[in-house]
Amino acid sequence: MSETNNKKDMSYEEIDLSDLFHRIGKAIGRMSRALGRALLVSIVFLLKHWLPVGISIFLGIGTAYLLRMTSPSFYTSDLVLRINSAPELDLIFRQSSTSKVASKLLLRANSAHTADMISYINRLHKYCMENNRDALADAIFLTDEQVENLIDINALWIIDKGDDGIPDLIDLKDNHNLYDTVNVRMQDRVNIRVMIKSPEELVNVKTGLIKFINSDSLFHQRNRGRLKHNQELHSRFEYDIQQLDSLQKVKYFEETRYRHPQNGSQMIFLQEQRTQLVYEDIHTLYERKQFLETDLNMYKDIVTVLSDFSVPKKRVNGIGYYAKKMVPLLFFFTILILIILDNRKKIREVYNKY
């Protein structure tokens, strides 16, 4: 009896599943037919009203050309700055476990410094959006006439695809996924995009930006701490190299090769030391010392210009810039007016009814 009940339950389940798939198939079919019908009606509607639709597209292109001819030209150019506010110990230390911990802490510190720098520079972006020309002129040490040529200044993150240390793209929309561990934000540099009417003023803008960054006391304190720390590390490396390279180290290895106990008659032979390892240590210390010398000599300031402004030749607000806005706008309003005209009787009936 129980076997027959189980068979019935199984048959009911099979029937329910088949019915479910059948209903899903019918729903998909109805949806496909509705989409096909809507597409067909849209095509017929556009073909029926091809003249006003075509006129709207030509009007959009003509309006874009008119705006291009009557609007002042503006250009964009990018400046890439290296952030020197924190010592790059992750490149100095590479082997020990404590050094790995220090490297992770340093990565967070560099990230905070770069975020602070971007936030600080984007004060100028806020001045531009608010059209606060007086504050902008005071901040970057420019005259009122020079500031009139500035449209926008924006600091942006640089994205490294594959985390290989090579910059790949600029996060223009500021929407990079912070949990992405493959494509990461570069923590040692920042991109500054300037929108300007007169490209000849880019040199003055760069000078003003550097002065604006150097006028911050917090960045000065961090930079002084970085230089002091690097100098102390450099001195320590020099001392360690001298010690490893002296005869005292050779004597130490020779004297400690074998040891005799002070009490008792049993002699303990210790494993022979690998004296050649000292040369690997000296080589590693020389690499770290050279890195610090490069950092102390080349990156003394708060920031260093890695890529200067380039003088743009092509204006941003060309015909395509305005056509992308005007053509869809006029096309949408034309379609809306045509729909209203075709259904004006029904609209009038609904209006009179209510």
pLDDT of residue 251: 53
Q: Helix, strand, or coil here: 154?
A: strand
- Cα distances from 353 to residues 77, 171, 314, in angstroms, run 60, 54, 58
Residue span of the structural domain in which 245 resides: 72-257+267-307
Q: Looking at the structure, tell me whether residues 24 and 125 fall in a common domain.
A: no
Q: Looking at the structure, tell me whether residues 148 and 294 fall in a common domain.
A: yes
- pLDDT tens for 231-246 read 888 888 888 888 777 7
- pLDDT tens for 259-291 read 555 555 554 544 444 445 556 777 788 888 888
Q: Looking at the structure, tell me whether residues 153 and 242 fall in a common domain.
A: yes
Residue 247 tokens, joined: 């005869």
Q: Looking at the structure, tell me whether residues 64 and 99 fall in a common domain.
A: no
- Confidence band (pLDDT; 50, 70, 90) for 60? very high
Q: Looking at the structure, tell me whether residues 238 and 340 fall in a common domain.
A: no
Nearest to 278 by CA among 250, 258, 306: 250
Q: Looking at the structure, tell me whether residues 331 and 237 fall in a common domain.
A: no
CA distance 182 to 173: 19
**314 in a domain, yes or no?**
no
pLDDT of residue 59: 94
**312 in a domain, yes or no?**
no
More confident residue, 10 or 182: 182
Domain count, the chain: 2
Residue 98: pLDDT over 50: no
Q: Give pairs for 175-184: CB < 8 Å, separation 24+.
A: 183/159, 184/159, 184/160
Order of strands across the sheet that contains 158-161? 169-170, 158-161, 183-185
Beta bridge partners of 81: 190, 305
Rg (CA), the chain: 35
pLDDT of residue 238: 86
Amino acid occupying residue 105: L
Q: Looking at the structure, tell me whether residues 46 and 117 fall in a common domain.
A: no
Find the Cα–Cα–Cα–Cα dihedral 172, 174, 179, 182, rounded to 10°: 10
- Cα distances from 102 to residues 28, 96, 97, in angstroms, run 58, 10, 9
The single-letter DSSP state of residue 11 is H
Beta bridge partners of 259: 268
**262 in a domain, yes or no?**
no
CA angle 101, 105, 109 (to 5 degrees): 165
Q: Looking at the structure, tell me whether residues 160 and 282 fall in a common domain.
A: yes
Residue 83: pLDDT over 70: yes
Residue 318: pLDDT over 70: yes
Q: Looking at the structure, tell me whether residues 250 and 333 fall in a common domain.
A: no
Q: Looking at the structure, tell me whether residues 64 and 209 fall in a common domain.
A: no
DSSP string, 46-103: HHHTHHHHHHHHHHHHHHHHHHHHHSPP-EEEEEEEEE-SS--HHHH--SSHHHHHHH
**In whole numbers, what is the pLDDT of the chain averaged over residues?**
81
**149 in a domain, yes or no?**
yes
**313 in a domain, yes or no?**
no
- Confidence band (pLDDT; 50, 70, 90) for 7? low
What's the predicted TM-score (pTM) here? Answer: 0.73
Q: Looking at the structure, tell me whether residues 196 and 148 fall in a common domain.
A: yes
306: enclosing H helix or E strand: strand 303-307
CA distance 303 to 82: 5
pLDDT of residue 57: 93
Backbone angles phi and psi of 96, in degrees to 5: -70, 155
Q: Looking at the structure, tell me whether residues 59 and 84 fall in a common domain.
A: no
Residue 49: pLDDT over 70: yes
- Among positive and negative, which fits the CA dihedral 336, 338, 341, 342? negative
Question: Hey, which of 123-132, 273-282, 313-322 has the most confident mean pLDDT?
Answer: 123-132
Residue 196 tokens, joined: 């300007």
